[in-house]
Amino acid sequence: MVLHGASVGVPAYLDAQRERDRVLEIAYIRYAAEPAAAQPRQIRYPAVRTVPDRAAQAKPTPRAPRTPEPVRDSPKPRIERVTPSPAPARAPRREALRTSAELLADPVRGRVFVAYFSDLKERIQQVVRRKYESSGAAGGRVALYFIVNASGELEAVTVVSAETVAPAELRELAKRCVREAAPFGTFPESLKLERVSFNLAISFEAT
């Protein structure tokens, strides 16, 4: 068996006696007397003189009251009336496309168009005579559809196969004659047209 707080084989009262002896021995130890505390030395400071604040004693000089400046009215802006310029006159609207047959049947514009149409056919006939005589091609009939704009320029030309009786070389000759005859004259202003389509049949007679 283990006992806490004492050695094995030593009676408990001996341990208590030893503890009391230690306390008694410590109680009889003497300490040397502490030296007397030194008295603090007094320090004399020089007397401080108070200097009067002259700036605080000075009295402020009164200022004369400021006279407000008179308020002047700003000049009113001058408004000028601008007269709008008249809008430019619009050019008369032109129709996009008409056929030569419709224009020839028109009682008003037909009188102007008939002269233009005659001049166009004459230019094509002159080229056809010159080209066909030197080509040595066989005879036949070629129907053409072409479009001319207001400036007299040729825009398109094609062969109407359903109304054409001619070999391929004669068909190409007819289209080439129309291309070389262009450009044609400009449209008369009274027609008021942008384009006119034509249907012409050219007959080639072999000599």
Taking only the tens place, the pLDDT of each residue in 15-67 is 555 554 444 344 334 444 445 555 555 656 555 555 555 655 556 666 766 77
Q: pLDDT at position 139, please?
A: 87
Spell out the domains of the chain, with CATH numbers in brackets.
98-204 (3.30.1150)
Checking if the pLDDT of 110 tops 70, the result is: yes
* For residues 68-90, average pLDDT: 67
105 or 53, higher pLDDT: 105
First CA to last CA distance, the chain: 161
How many CA atoms lie less than 13 Å away from 139 in the CB half-sphere?
A: 5
Q: What is the pLDDT of residues 141-190, one digit of tens each?
A: 999 999 999 999 999 999 999 999 999 999 999 999 999 999 999 999 99
pTM above 0.95, yes or no: no
Mean pLDDT value across residues 117-144: 92
Q: 169: which 2 tokens?
A: 């070389």
* Bridge partners for 147 per DSSP: 156, 197
What is the spatial distance between Cα 103 and Cα 109, in angstroms, rounded to a whole number? 6
- The mean pLDDT of 117-139, rounded to a whole number, is 91
Which tokens go with 27? 């109680």
pLDDT at 82: 65
Q: Mean pLDDT in the chain? A: 77
Q: What is the largest CA-CA distance in the chain?
A: 173
Q: Tell me what pLDDT residue 94 has.
A: 81
pLDDT of residue 33: 47
pLDDT of res. 134: 84
Going by pLDDT thresholds of 50, 70 and 90, the confidence category of residue 137 is: confident
E-assigned strands of the chain?
98-99, 140-149, 154-159, 195-204
> pLDDT value at position 31?
41
Give the contacts of 178 (CB within 8 A, at least 6 positions apart). Answer: 124, 127, 144, 146, 154, 157
Confidence class for position 1, pLDDT limits 50, 70, 90: very low
Q: Is the pLDDT of residue 194 over 90?
A: yes
